[in-house]
Amino acid sequence: MKQTIVLATHNAGKIREFKSVLEPLGYTATAVRDLCPQLPEPEETGTTFEENARLKAAYYMKATGLPCLADDSGIIADALGGRPGVYSARYAGPECDDEKNNQKLIDELSAFPPEKRTVHYACVLALLFPDGREIVREGRCSGVLRDFYAGTNGFGYDPLFYVPEKGKTMAEMTMEEKNEISHRGKALELLVEALS
């Protein structure tokens, strides 16, 4: 019988991506909402991506009794000492949206010359098993934050996140191009290596 891995996310894009990687390895990947639709989400109290990924994986593993894969990711501006970091999704406050988050980051980086506006996306994946085994992997993708939008194929900070080697923003790339270089794609590759 195939081993089930619970996916600790409600994001349809991530669920598709995780399934496409885990199922060819012989696992059944199931979204947590399909097993526990009423379960409230845990509060993300960690100060690092790894802490939050572990916290979510442990919470859903305990609730389901099954191995659980969780991720935490965000954008890090080098000139801002690592901000927004774990606060990327709520950088402009609890009621914010992508546009407000983007504008806050643009405003904060406007004090720096363009060559100092380097950023990277980071993603930590934590796969926890009920028997105590753990696989934790991190992927990163580097770029420069621009102060104008380009592209519609992304969300969050993607339209501002310019990748010099590709000559385009993350939001201007096709899904295939993005998967080749993305922080989540790199973390998934490392996870697959560990599971193979």
- List the one residue out of 173, 59, 60, 184 whose CA is nearest residue 121: 184
Give the residue numbers of the binding site for Mg(2+). Answer: 43, 72
Residue 34 appears among annotated catalytic residues? no
Segment (H or E) for 145: strand 134-145
pLDDT in tens, 131-175: 999 999 999 999 999 999 999 988 899 999 999 999 999 999 998
Q: What is the pLDDT of residue 3?
A: 92
- Domain containing 96 — which CATH number? 3.90.950.10
Q: In which residue are the tokens 């406007």 written?
A: 110
Query: Out of 71, 72, 78, 107, which one is annotated catalytic?
Result: 72
SS3 128: strand
Residues 49 and 55 sit within 8 Å (Cβ to Cβ): no
Give the residue numbers of the binding site for substrate. Answer: 9-14, 73, 155-158, 178, 183-184
At 1, the pLDDT band (50, 70, 90 cuts) reads low
Q: What is the pLDDT of residue 46?
A: 92
Domain hosting 114: range is: 4-195
7: which 2 tokens? 């996916």
Q: What is the pLDDT of residue 13?
A: 79
How far is it, in rounded angstroms, from Cα 143 to Cα 160? 10
pTM: 0.90
What separation, in Å, do the N-terminal and C-terminal C-alpha atoms of the chain show? 17
Q: In which residue are the tokens 């290596």 written?
A: 193
| Phi (first) and psi of residue 47, to 5 degrees | -105, 0
How far is it, in rounded angstroms, from Cα 28 to Cα 40? 23
Q: Of how many residues is the chain composed?
A: 196
pLDDT in tens, 79-99: 999 999 999 989 999 888 999
Q: What is the pLDDT of residue 155?
A: 84
pLDDT in tens, 98-134: 999 999 999 999 999 989 999 999 999 999 999 999 9
> Residue 96 is which amino acid?
C
pLDDT in tens, 3-60: 999 999 988 878 888 998 899 999 999 999 999 889 898 988 999 999 999 999 999 9
Q: What is the pLDDT of residue 180?
A: 85
Query: What's the structural domain count of the chain?
Result: 1
A 10 A CB-CB count for 61 gives 22
